């Protein structure tokens, strides 16, 4: 059975998609079989892997119809190693509204994932910046949650709320646990970020991943080129440092989830 991890934080722009896509690529690069599911109507992860150009079905189709298989598209993103992607589209927003009146609406994705989970070592879910039905579907389908956060004062309040919500989801999914909080765009040169990072490690202790992802222009650029930092890469120091950061995080993820 695959290790399944939802990447979640109801706060917007904290690095969920960037973490999910580069972690997926890092795990694939290590030779793991990886599926990544885009649960966000913004479909940023779908664009980040360049799937939007080729897809004819999306997660929306599978969520609306139990008998439709999860549409999976294979991309050779991690330097020749494949990553499978279940794409999203803006239509997912309509699906979210349509599911509101359906019985068992939080369980739909889990049913689909159970059908494919022997084919993978890791299944990652990218989620939207809300705690609505789509995020709930991911939290019910997953065993673990990774919480990316910025090292900013206003991010701390959100973390408390998120962990309380995760606690509530265990009613539907008793095996759900936080795998770790990751500083996903950490600029250690800024005093506020250093202070918040120190507080975070004090408050949340071992829950915080030892590895953090530095703020890095190559990471920023790769998101919009339709490729992970592994594929977009480049040989300069910034790109190599970014790849290394996600590899270190991936190793820690594997060790914690083992």
Ligand X SMILES: Nc1ncnc2c1ncn2[C@@H]1O[C@H](COP(=O)(O)OP(=O)(O)OP(=O)(O)O)[C@@H](O)[C@H]1O
Residue 71 CB-half CA count within 13 A? 20
| Alpha carbon distance 188, 197 (integer Å) | 9
The 3-state DSSP class for residue 96 equals helix
Which residues in 15-54 contact Mg ion (CB under 5 A)? Answer: 16-17, 44
Pick one of ligand X, Mg ion, none as the site partner of residue 38 (Cβ within 5 to 8 A by kind).
none
CB of 232 to Mg ion, least distance (A): 18
Which DSSP string corresponds to 194-206? Answer: HHHHHHHHHHHGG
Q: Phi and psi of 53, rounded to 5°? A: -70, -25
Pick one of Mg ion, ligand X, none as the site partner of residue 14 (Cβ within 5 to 8 A by kind).
ligand X
17 binds ligand X (CB under 6 A): yes
Of 47 and 173, which CB lies nearer to ligand X in the complex structure? Answer: 47
Pick one of Mg ion, ligand X, none as the site partner of residue 185 (Cβ within 5 to 8 A by kind).
ligand X
Q: Which residue in the set 2, 6, 29, 44 belongs to the binding site for ligand X (CB under 6 A)?
A: 44
The 3-state DSSP class for residue 155 equals helix
CB of 43 to ligand X, least distance (A): 10
Alpha helices in 55-209 (DSSP H): 59-64, 91-99, 108-114, 133-141, 153-169, 191-204
Pick one of ligand X, Mg ion, none as the site partner of residue 220 (Cβ within 5 to 8 A by kind).
ligand X
Question: b/e string for 212-248 if b means 16 or more Cβ within 10 A?
Answer: bbbbbebbeebbeebbbbbbbbeeeeebeebbebbbb
Taking the CA atoms of 3, 69, 87 and 137 in sequence, report the sign of the dihedral they define.
Answer: negative
Q: Phi and psi of 125, rounded to 5°? A: -120, 125
CB of 1 to ligand X, least distance (A): 27
CB of 179 to ligand X, least distance (A): 17
CB of 224 to ligand X, least distance (A): 7
> Taking a C-beta distance cutoff of 8 angstroms, is the pair 61, 108 a contact?
no
Residue 1 CB-half CA count within 13 A? 11
Of 17 and 216, which CB lies nearer to Mg ion in the complex structure? Answer: 17
Q: Which residue in the set 2, 3, 8, 14 belongs to the binding site for ligand X (CB under 6 A)?
A: 14
Site string for ligand X, 186-225 (x = CB under 6 A): ---------------------------x-xx--xx--x--
The 3-state DSSP class for residue 37 equals strand
Q: Which residue in the set 41, 87, 129, 226 belongs to the binding site for ligand X (CB under 6 A)?
A: 129
Which residues contact Mg ion (rule: CB under 5 A)?
A: 16-17, 44
Binding interface with ligand X (CB under 6 A)? 12-18, 40, 42, 44, 129, 184-185, 213, 215-216, 219-220, 223
């Amino acid at each position: 059975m695959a290790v399944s991890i939802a990447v979640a934080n109801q706060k917007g722009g904290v690095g969920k998609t960037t973490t999910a896509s580069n972690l997926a690529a890092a795990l694939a690069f290590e030779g793991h079989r990886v599926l990544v599911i885009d649960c966000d109507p913004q479909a940023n992860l779908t664009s980040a892997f360049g799937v939007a150009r080729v897809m004819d079905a999306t997660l929306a189709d599978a969520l609306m119809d139990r008998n439709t298989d999860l549409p999976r598209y294979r991309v050779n993103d991690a330097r020749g190693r494949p990553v499978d992607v279940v794409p999203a589209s803006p239509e997912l927003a309509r699906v979210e509204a349509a599911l509101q009146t359906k019985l068992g609406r939080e369980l739909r994705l889990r049913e689909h994932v159970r059908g494919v989970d022997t084919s993978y070592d890791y299944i990652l879910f990218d989620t939207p910046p809300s705690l609505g039905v789509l995020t709930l579907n991911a939290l019910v389908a997953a065993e673990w949650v990774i919480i990316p956060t910025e090292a900013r004062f206003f991010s701390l309040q959100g973390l408390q709320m998120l962990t309380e919500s995760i606690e509530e989801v265990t009613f539907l999914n008793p095996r759900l646990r936080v795998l770790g909080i990751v500083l996903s765009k950490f600029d250690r040169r800024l005093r506020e970020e250093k202070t918040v990072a120190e507080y975070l490690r004090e408050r949340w202790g071992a829950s915080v991943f030892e590895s953090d992802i530095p703020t890095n222009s190559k990471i920023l650029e790769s998101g919009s080129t339709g490729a992970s930092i592994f594929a977009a890469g480049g040989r300069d120091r910034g790109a190599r440092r970014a790849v290394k950061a996600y590899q270190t995080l991936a190793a820690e993820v594997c060790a914690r989830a083992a």
